[in-house]
Amino acid sequence: MSRRDDGFLLVRAGARCVGLELSQVVQVAQLSDVRTVPVVEPAVRGIMAVQGRMVPLVHLASLLENVPHPEEMGTTGVLVLVEGKQVCLEVDDAETLLREPALPVPPGEMLRWAVAVARSGGELVPILDLTALSSRLLEAAAQ
């Protein structure tokens, strides 16, 4: 069984719904007390304490669109583990836990950052390849 068969957490990030592999999800957290820090990555909002350690907070929709994070902060974060480092992804909502096997990205579909897709409500939802996004996420974690 591959790790993509463990299931997914579907999250709302801006106008899109995306999936995060459960094998990479540590917890869903309430966002609070974010400290701003100087960073190069415009999607990074700052750092915050989660489980007694400081982790970067990255606005997921901004990361995917390659734009600066919005001024107003949301309330929901998903703590993920990427290449051994924790990063908190700010999302609009953590919507659904989906325990379905991953499907390959259909030929001809341009789903940037997708490692696979899952079917939810009759639609295909891209499953994010956090490893492919890791250079930007880990840059944030190194700040």
Taking the C-alpha atoms of residue 55 and residue 27, their distance in angstroms, rounded to an integer, is 13
The closest of 101, 104, 106 to 115, measured between CA atoms, is 104
Q: Are 116 and 104 in contact (CB under 8 A)?
A: yes
In the chain the domains, ranked by start, together with CATH numbers, are 3-142 (2.40.50.180)
Q: What is the pLDDT of residue 71?
A: 92
Q: What is the pLDDT of residue 142?
A: 56
**pLDDT digits 0-9 by tens, 96-140:** 999 988 999 988 887 778 999 999 888 889 999 998 887 766 665
Give 138's contacts (C-beta < 8 A, 6+ positions apart): 82, 83, 85, 87
Q: What is the pLDDT of residue 125?
A: 93
The closest of 79, 103, 125, 131 to 4, measured between CA atoms, is 103
Beta-strand pair 85-91/53-59: parallel
Whether the predicted pLDDT of 4 surpasses 80: no
Tokens of 121: 């409500």
Q: What is the pLDDT of residue 2?
A: 45
Name the percent of the chain lying above pLDDT 90.
59
